[in-house]
Amino acid sequence: MKKTIVFLLVMAIALSLIACKDEPPAEEQPQFRETTITIFEGEDSCTAKVQGTLLNAQWNGTPNTIASAFTNAYTGATAPQKGTVYAVFKNNDVVIIAENATDYSIYKTVSGEAKKLYVNINGLSSLQSKVVEAVGKIGTDAKE
């Protein structure tokens, strides 16, 4: 009787180890994400949508970094540059697409897309120095 009980216990433990084997977690897939950011400051304050199909780790902080780059570039721009940038953003309808791109390093604009700007998440540290240039090229084919 003791042998039967021991055998059954051993079998139960063995089956529980096999049946409860943990599967490795599924790899995270990029997901579409969107938020609205405020750019510039004071009476020139505008909003823009930031969108991207990214991993959570790639997305975290990206919208804030973009907002800071635009605000800081605008603050340091000349009056004519501010006029150009503000004219594009004043209706709060610009969409900034954040992507993990390999075909450009900082930004991309596409002919016919008058209210879209693509930014490479790997080039965000250089974005501030290119904001005025990039905004001036919206609606044309350009890459940096």
Per-domain residue ranges of the chain: 31-143
- pLDDT in tens for each of the 144 residues of the chain? 666 655 555 555 655 655 555 666 678 999 999 999 999 989 999 999 999 999 999 999 999 999 999 999 999 999 999 999 999 999 999 999 999 999 999 999 999 999 999 999 999 999 999 999 999 999 999 999
What pLDDT shows up at residue 38? 96
pLDDT of 59 reads 98
- Looking at domain 31-143, which CATH architecture does it have? 2-Layer Sandwich (3.30)
> From residue 41, how far is each of 44, 68, 74 by CA, in Å?
6, 11, 9
C-alpha gyration radius of the chain: 25
Per-residue confidence (pLDDT) for residue 77, from 0 to 100: 96
